[in-house]
Structure formats: structure tokens, C-alpha cells
Amino acid sequence: MKGKLLVGFVTIGNMFYSKVLTTGQMFVIPQGLVHFRKNVGEGKALAFTTFNSHMPGAVVLPFALFASTPPIPNGVLT
């Protein structure tokens, strides 16, 4: 990973977790959860993504996106 990325996910209990990653850091997103990544640095960012299953699971989007605790920042949703 290079650059500066805001990454996060919402659990099945609608809890929102996020972290700003910088060069060399890693973030694991549990299978089947709503997640995002956003470049918050001044330059370009590079990230590598891998999947461990062809069956990702499912989450109800309206609750995951709009009823999480704490709320997902508006800048991520737009």
C-alpha cells in the first residue's frame, strides 16, 4: 500500500469501524461486510485487494449505510 487511504466497514450489528492507513500498513475486512476505501492523501494511492472466497455473504445495505454507530462520514457516502 502506498499513499494515504481512509478505509472502513460496517458490521452486521451496524457498528462502523474505520482507520486512516499510510504506506506499508494493512487492513482486514471481514467477509461479506459493507466496506469502502477513499484516498485522503494529496497524491495518488495504491492498494492491493484479495478475496478468500467466491461466496462473499450478504448484508442489508440501508441499515449498514445509514444506521451505523458511529455514522459513516458524509464524504464517504457521496
Q: Do the annotations mark residue 35 as ligand-binding?
A: yes
The letter for the amino acid at 10 is: V
Mean pLDDT of the chain: 87
Start-to-end C-alpha separation, the chain:
24
pLDDT for the residue 33: 86
pLDDT for the residue 56: 64
Three-state DSSP class for 64?
helix
Please give the DSSP secondary-structure letter assigned to residue 24: T
- Mean pLDDT of all residues in 20-37: 91
CB contact set of 24 (below 8 Å; sequence gap of 6+): 1
